[in-house]
Structure formats: structure tokens, C-alpha cells
Amino acid sequence: MEDFIIRAALAAIGISIIAGSLGCFVIWKRMSYFSESISHSALLGVSLGLVSGLGLHFGLLIVGAIFSILIVVLQQRQFLSNDAILGIFSHISLSLGIVLLALVGGANTDYFSLLFGDILSISNQDIIWIYAILVLVSILLSIFWQRLLLLTLNEELGVASGLNRLAYQLLFMLMIALTVSVSVQIVGVLLITSLLIIPPATARVFARSPAQMVLLSIVVSMIAVVMGLSGSIYYDVATGPAIVIALGILFLLSQILPKRNII
Amino acid sequence: MTPKTLISANHINLSHHGKKVLDEVSFELKAGEFITLIGPNGAGKSSLIKILLGLIAPDNGKIKKSKNIRLGYTPQKFIANEFIPISVADFLKLNQKIDTQFLIDTATLTGIETRLHLPLNSLSGGEMQRVLLARALLAKPNVLILDEPAQNLDVDGQMQLYQLIQDIHQQQGCAVLMVSHDLHRVMKESTQVLCLYHHICCMGQPEAIIKDSQFNHLFANQMDELMATYEHHHNHKHKH
């Protein structure tokens, strides 16, 4: 097998574990639009990485973190509804990203692979990044799982038991920013959200506990990325859309199949 | 030795969109006390509770809590996130360390032992109130804050719940702060009644119900065992 295929598969599987588990919280918290906004800010991160020489991942991480914090701060002020705030951020950051990239990246910028993913762009260093973030997110999730889940289930109960709602909201958003920073290369800026929401939406039908939903979601995600990657290589089409179509097929199946608890 | 003050509210003020919701509210909850907070709808009862719990911040004023406070709280409106598949038992155990026997004992006390394996979202309103009470008790509280726990219950259900709250107060000795919108009937167990209408209108002790006088009720006798009347002694009038 070609090296780049092995790298792509390793990257895709790593990302599907991260996105599959965090995605459950995105669904539970109804924050798909938030993850959309953060992923749209990714082009800005790419250009920052280019200009500053910090590289792709640092650029993505810094911009994602700044946007997460800005959104949380604006939400606290409550002068606009959340979806309006996110809508403003989402499109301004996408447009800024495209314009800045044109200015700093020159004519050679491959917009298509940034927007829709490109497995050929995965290097060994990227794999190390993905798995470092996988370890970090897994550790954070296992430490804060109960607290995040209680706050998500009912914020009042969580705060009444002494949890700081703002701190955990920020923690969660930063984890999403981490996920976005490693997912851009595989699925592309425009399609990251589907990696976060379609696997848990598929798993929801069968899961009887939050932990089951996370595990199933990861399994669904892994199957879809492997299907999508193979399709992308075989038919020579963009990776992101191929993965999303595979996710779509699994989601459809979950809706059509008789609703039984398979675990 | 005087009982220890567990929570004190000092000169709490809160406005919402320019309207005064809470005006210079001060009171104390001491160990073993049972305070019933009454007031008409929109009087600021739930806002006061939320300030006590730290869910919202007052415009000014201070809440002091004793250091070794263990709070159990049942919210007025509880909506469990409908997208999370979780059983009653898992919900009760969430973010608290509980041994199985204690869980079963508490579930039995609150009458939900047959509901433990059901999905949380399948419960009726009355069952949910009991589950919330069970969760609050599992925190081994020395303060129990109950925001209209008897809402949405029929008379029979209300009585069972009041009986349960009375038993808990008597047996576990924790302080109770209970919100009720019933202006004239409070639980006999109450050691103090606070009447709130943005400010504290009056406070005092409840008086026993005179048998069959005002409340000629199907469950009057049983209700009398648990309930008492509260006579308001306002020295001022409101433009309601």
C-alpha cells in the first residue's frame, strides 16, 4: 500500500475518534452552528500559520481559541441571540480567511483542498499532531466527563452543585477548536461539522446511555472515514465530500432500520 | 448554643429590565430550620432561590454560606436535555459518588425504586419531582432547597410529597427552604414563614389549622396532619 494512504487512514481514524466523542456533546448542547463557526474561522488560521511561520496547526489552534473565547464573551452579554452571533462570526471569518489567504498565499493557494479536504497533504508530522490531540482530548474528557455531562443535562443542577458553567463552556469550546485544527486537512473547512454531528446523530437511535452513544458514534465515524477514504482514492474525488456521503449513508440506514437496541 | 447559620442573605437587590424584582431582601437559614417561602406568582421567589444558589448574581447584596454546607436542590422547572439517553439510575449517580445500597435506600424512600432503569425522559411530572428529590438527598445535604416541589401534583401526590419532606426534615435533620405559591397553607413543619412580594412583607410562625373550618376538603383530615395556616400580618398595602 502507498505510504500516503496509510498516513491518510491513520489520520482519518484518529480524527474520527476525537470528533465522534466530542460530537455527542455538540448534539446534546445543540451547538452544531457553533462548531460551524469555528471551522469557518479555520481559513483565517491557515493564513495566520502562513504569515507568522508558526505552521498550519498552531495557526488553526490560535485562531480557533480566540474565536471560541470571543463567542463565549459575546454570548455572556446577551444583546443578540446566539444564532445571530454565530452567523455573523461564521461568515465574516470565512470571508476574511479567503481574502487574507489570497493576499498572503498568492496564486498557488489550493482553496479546493482547504475547503473540501485533501489526503495527499497529510504528513508524518500531521499524524503526530492528530494523535497528540487525541490523547489530550481523551484525558480531558475522561477527567471532566461527569461534570460536562451534568451541566449539559441540566445547567441549573450543575451550577447548584458548585460547577463553574463558564469554565466548562470554555473548556468544551477549546476542545472543539482543537478538533477543528486537526480536521481541516482531511475533510476541509466546510465539512468539519458533519464529522461532529452525523456520527452521534446516527448513534443516538441505538444508544441507551451517554457512554454507549459516544462509543457507537466513534464506531460509526470510523466506518464512514474508511469508506470515504477508499471511495476518494478509488474514484479520485475530494476526501471530505466522500466521507460525508459515507456518513450520510450510515445515517440513512440508522433511520430506516428497525429501532432496536443493538447493545 | 444557638443553631449555626447555614445561609444568610443580606440586602439582596435585583432588577430586571428596570423593574425591581428583589428589594433589600435579608434573611437567615439556620441548622435544622424549615423555612417556607411564599408569595404570589412573579413575586421574585425563584429569583431569590437562584441568587442563593449562585445561578444568577444579585445587583447588590451578599450571600454568605457556611463552609461545610452541602446543598440539595430541586429546581422549579426541570427539563432534562432530551437528546441525552440516560437512565434514572445513571442520572442519580451523575457527578456524585454513591454506593449502591444508599442509592436503593434513597430510591425506596422517595418511591422511585421501580423506575431506576427507565429512561429519564419517560417519567411523569410527579415521578420527576421524586427523582429530583432523591438526587438532592443523595448529596447528603444539610440544606435542602425545594422550589415548588408540589407543583403539577394532584392532592394525593402533594400529600405524599409533603409527608416525605416532613419525614426527611425530622429524620435527617437538614435545614429546609421550601418555596410555595400557596399563600395561606404552609407545611406544619415550617419553623418560619417568609412572605415575599419583591421585598419581605412579613415573616412569622404558622398556626395550626382549625379543624374543618376553612378547608372543607376531601382529604381535610389527612391534610391537617401535615398542613397549617399562615396568617399574614402586613402593615402596608400593595398596588397589585
Which residues of A lie closer than 8 Å to B, measured between beta carbons? Answer: 27-28, 30, 146-147, 149-150, 152-154, 156-161, 204, 207-210, 212-213
Q: Which residue of B has its CA nearest to A161?
A: B71
Instruction: Please check the confidence at residue B78 and state whether its pLDDT lies above 60.
Output: yes
Give the range among A25-39, A100-114, A232-246, B6-20 with minimum mean pLDDT: A100-114
- Which band of pLDDT confidence, cut at 50, 70 and 90, is reported for residue B135? very high
> What's the gap in Å between the CA of A63 and the closest CA on chain B?
30
Residues of A in contact with B84 (CB under 8 A): 28, 149, 152-153, 210, 213
List, in order of start, the domains of chain A with CATH numbers: 3-256 (1.10.3470.10)
**Do B85 and A158 count as a contact with CB atoms less than 8 A apart?**
no
Residues 6+ apart with CB under 8 A from A134: A14, A17, A18
Residues of A in contact with B86 (CB under 8 A): 153, 209-210
DSSP β-bridge partners for residue A187: none
Residues of A in contact with B94 (CB under 8 A): 146, 149-150, 153
Nearest Cβ partner of A209 from B71, B78, B90?
A: B90
pTM above 0.90, yes or no: no
Three-state DSSP class for residue A115 = helix
Query: What are the pLDDT digits (tens) for B93-122?
Result: 999 989 999 999 999 988 999 999 999 999
**Do A147 and B87 count as a contact with CB atoms less than 8 A apart?**
no
**pLDDT over 90 percentage in chain B:** 49
- Which band of pLDDT confidence, cut at 50, 70 and 90, is reported for residue A85? confident
Q: What ipTM score was computed for the predicted complex, to two decimals?
A: 0.86
**Do A153 and B75 count as a contact with CB atoms less than 8 A apart?**
no
Query: What are the pLDDT digits (tens) for A137-149?
Result: 999 999 999 999 9
Instruction: Please check the confidence at residue A80 and state whether its pLDDT lies above 90.
Output: no
Give the range among A85-99, A147-161, B43-57 with minimum mean pLDDT: A85-99
- Highest mean pLDDT among A38-47, A87-96, B1-10, B85-94 belongs to B85-94
Residues 6+ apart with CB under 8 A from A227: A243, A246, A249
B96 and B49 in contact (C-beta within 8 Å)? no
Residues of A in contact with B91 (CB under 8 A): 153
- Helical (H) or strand (E) element with A94: helix A82-105
> What's the gap in Å between the CA of A137 and the closest CA on chain B?
19
For chain B, the average pLDDT equals 86
Residues of B in contact with A147 (CB under 8 A): 95
**Do A210 and B139 count as a contact with CB atoms less than 8 A apart?**
no
Three-state DSSP class for residue A118 = coil
Which residue in A207, A201, A208 sits closest to A251, CA to CA? A201
Task: Kindly state the average pLDDT of the residues A215-230.
Answer: 95
> What's the gap in Å between the CA of B234 and the closest CA on chain A?
33
Query: What are the pLDDT digits (tens) for A204-213?
Result: 999 999 999 9
Nearest Cβ partner of A159 from B55, B79, B84?
A: B55
| Main-chain dihedrals φ then ψ at residue B202, nearest 5 degrees | -160, 160
> What's the gap in Å between the CA of B191 and the closest CA on chain A?
25
**Cα dist from B81 to A19, A125, A185, whole Å:** 21, 40, 33
The cell numbers describing A252, all together, are 440513512
Instruction: Give the mutation candidate from B50, B73, B84 for the A interface (greatest A CB count, under 10 A).
Output: B84
> Taking the C-alpha atoms of B77, B180, B168 and B202 in order, what is their torsion angle to the nearest 10 degrees?
140
**Do A154 and B80 count as a contact with CB atoms less than 8 A apart?**
yes
Q: Whole-angstrom Cα distance, residue B158 to residue B181? A: 13
Task: Kindly state the average pLDDT of the residues A46-70.
Answer: 88
**Do A160 and B53 count as a contact with CB atoms less than 8 A apart?**
yes
Nearest Cβ partner of A149 from B53, B75, B94?
A: B94
Instruction: Please check the confidence at residue A101 and state whether its pLDDT lies above 70.
Output: yes
Which is it for the CA torsion B99, B101, B107, B113, positive or negative? positive
Please spell the DSSP secondary structure of A123-176, one letter per residue.
-HHHHHHHHHHHHHHHHHHHHHHHHHHHHHH-HHHHHHTT--HHHHHHHHHHHH
Q: Whole-angstrom Cα distance, residue B41 to residue B58? A: 20
> What's the gap in Å between the CA of A124 and the closest CA on chain B?
37
Stronger pLDDT, B26 or B236, i.e. the higher one: B26
Instruction: Give the mutation candidate from A146, A161, A164 for the B interface (greatest B CB count, under 10 A).
Output: A161
